[in-house]
């Protein structure tokens, strides 16, 4: 069996998004599960679409998610360079081989000529593809036009009526006919290769064993297989991942798919939840669990358990999973990741012990990291009382509840939960007040809002001296 070597090969035309992350994650998990190598290769041959900073973002996002690269632009390795624009002579050498063997040919057709050709084919209801008019040029004419420096591309000469059969690890045996294949451009007029040539050449020279990519590349596989055959190389194993779908099973909208991974992290999603969620967009474990650490995914993952049916992207499920991880991760780790949102919200941090108590309570009720900071505000920097809340506190019934607690609460020390429960029952019995008429004045006085956590949580966070101070303020208001 060939050594497992897989590559994630994004184009720097934007930031890492969900579909790209799934491909990278499956590459990474497969490499780690098999003891193989995870390679990052940057496919930057489409110079017109390069986005400044995209390469740095792609590498930074993988690092931030904990997907360590074994070989790549910054990591190095024995099969570099790992940026395609630095490998141009390699591609040109292989194109010369294809030209010499007659498996490729120059094409001098202008964009206007090609547009007219497509228009005429469409009007006749034909499959749109290059009509090979330049294939029939004489050798002398080709040479003369090349010597005049005419702009041209190099096209692959696809075989006529060839039926390609190949095995896909997810889809089984696939059969495709070349009648629907075009004579693909291999080298553009600017001297840069197209994806089809560069990917095949790089996969060969980098000894890639498995090509894991999206379903949209399935139709291009015959071209790639023909290139491997023309160049005398052994093709890799093919793995075409299912589409990612909206909840209504339509293809995932561009708006959703183009949301960068970085933006999910910046919204407060945990990397552990995001990786777990994306892993399940097409793959399932043997026991149909839903919660996996990255280490568990590395142990459990196999390409054979990836479905060929589309995978539904459900944001509600991601939110649910993130809440699970907020409660599952060690408390100190949740606090560490939540701290930036305290700073963004201008919330002063309390004593570490109080902060732990706040986050312990908050993560039981929150879904995202910024919600923990927002939750803390009621304890650390409550909003001013609204007119409605002030009116509630001013009522005789509310005043009696507040007076009772000022008189009966200890001034300092720690009130155990059992003691507080007993105090609450005693207050209800003596005042003859129950339910929200009893609790709303207390929460409004202590938190400046009528709803919130239970009294034991409030008392544990605020402490008795601060509670007395707040009760007296409410009585004076």
Cβ contacts of 313 within 8 Å, gap of 6 or more: 18, 244, 245, 246, 247, 252, 256, 281
Q: Can you say how many angstroms the Cα of residue 458 is from the centroid of all Cα atoms in its chain?
A: 37
Cβ contacts of 331 within 8 Å, gap of 6 or more: 356, 359, 360, 363
**Residue 169 structure tokens:** 């690890």
Q: What is the CA radius of gyration of the chain?
A: 32
254 among known catalytic residues: yes
Helices (H), 193-266: 195-205, 221-231, 254-257, 261-266
Residue 409 contacts residue 467 (beta carbons within 8 Å)? yes
251, 254, 308, 328: which one is catalytic? 254
Phi and psi, residue 311, nearest 5°:
-105, 130
Say how many C-beta atoms besides its own lie within 10 A of residue 354's C-beta: 17
Question: Rounded to whole angstroms, what are the CA distances from 430 to 400, 408, 427, 435?
Answer: 11, 12, 5, 14
Distance CA 296, CA 322 (A): 17
Residue 25 contacts residue 272 (beta carbons within 8 Å)? no
Q: Which of 45, 71, 297, 317 is nearest to 192 (CA)?
A: 45
Which sequence positions are flagged as catalytic?
A: 254
């Amino acid at each position: 069996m060939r050594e497992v070597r897989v590559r994630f090969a994004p184009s720097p035309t934007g930031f890492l998004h969900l579909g790209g992350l799934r491909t990278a994650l499956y590459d990474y998990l497969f490499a780690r599960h098999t003891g193989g190598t995870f390679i990052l290769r940057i496919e930057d041959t489409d110079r017109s679409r390069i986005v400044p900073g995209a390469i740095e973002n792609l590498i930074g996002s993988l690092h931030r998610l904990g997907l360590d690269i074994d070989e790549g632009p910054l990591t190095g390795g024995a099969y570099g360079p790992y940026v395609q624009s630095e490998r141009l002579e390699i591609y040109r050498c292989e194109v010369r081989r294809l030209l010499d063997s007659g498996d490729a040919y120059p094409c001098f057709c202008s964009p206007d000529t090609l547009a007219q050709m497509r228009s005429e084919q469409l009007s006749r209801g034909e499959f749109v593809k290059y009509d090979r008019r330049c294939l029939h040029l004489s050798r002398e004419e080709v040479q003369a036009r090349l010597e005049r420096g005419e702009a041209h591309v190099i096209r692959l000469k696809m075989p006529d009526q060839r039926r390609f059969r190949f095995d896909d690890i997810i889809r089984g045996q696939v059969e495709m006919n070349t009648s629907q294949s075009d004579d693909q451009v291999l080298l553009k007029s600017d001297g840069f290769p197209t994806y089809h040539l560069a990917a095949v050449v790089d996969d060969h020279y980098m000894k890639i064993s498995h090509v894991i990519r999206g379903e949209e590349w399935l139709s291009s596989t015959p071209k790639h297989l023909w290139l491997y055959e023309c160049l005398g190389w052994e093709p890799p194993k093919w793995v075409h991942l299912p589409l990612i779908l909206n909840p209504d099973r339509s293809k995932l909208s561009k708006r959703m798919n183009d949301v960068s991974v970085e933006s999910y992290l910046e919204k407060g999603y945990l990397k552990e939840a995001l990786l777990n969620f994306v892993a399940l967009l097409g793959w399932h474990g043997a026991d149909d669990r839903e919660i996996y650490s990255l280490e568990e995914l590395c142990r459990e993952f196999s390409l054979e358990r990836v479905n060929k049916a589309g995978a539904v992207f459900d944001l509600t499920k991601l939110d649910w999973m993130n809440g699970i991880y907020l409660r599952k991760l060690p408390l100190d780790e949740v606090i560490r990741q939540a701290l930036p949102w305290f700073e963004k919200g201008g919330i002063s941090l309390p004593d570490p012990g109080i902060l732990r108590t706040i986050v312990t309570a908050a993560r039981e009720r929150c879904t995202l990291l910024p919600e923990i900071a927002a939750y803390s505000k009621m304890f650390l920097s409550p909003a001013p009382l609204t007119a409605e809340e002030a009116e509630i506190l001013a009522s005789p019934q509310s005043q009696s509840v507040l007076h009772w607690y000022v008189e009966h609460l200890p001034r300092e020390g720690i009130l155990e939960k059992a003691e507080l429960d007993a105090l609450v029952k005693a207050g209800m019995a003596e005042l003859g007040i129950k339910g929200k008429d009893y609790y709303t004045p207390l929460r409004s006085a202590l938190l400046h809002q009528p709803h919130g956590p239970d009294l034991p949580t409030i008392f544990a966070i605020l402490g008795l001296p601060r509670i007395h101070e707040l009760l007296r303020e409410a009585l004076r208001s």
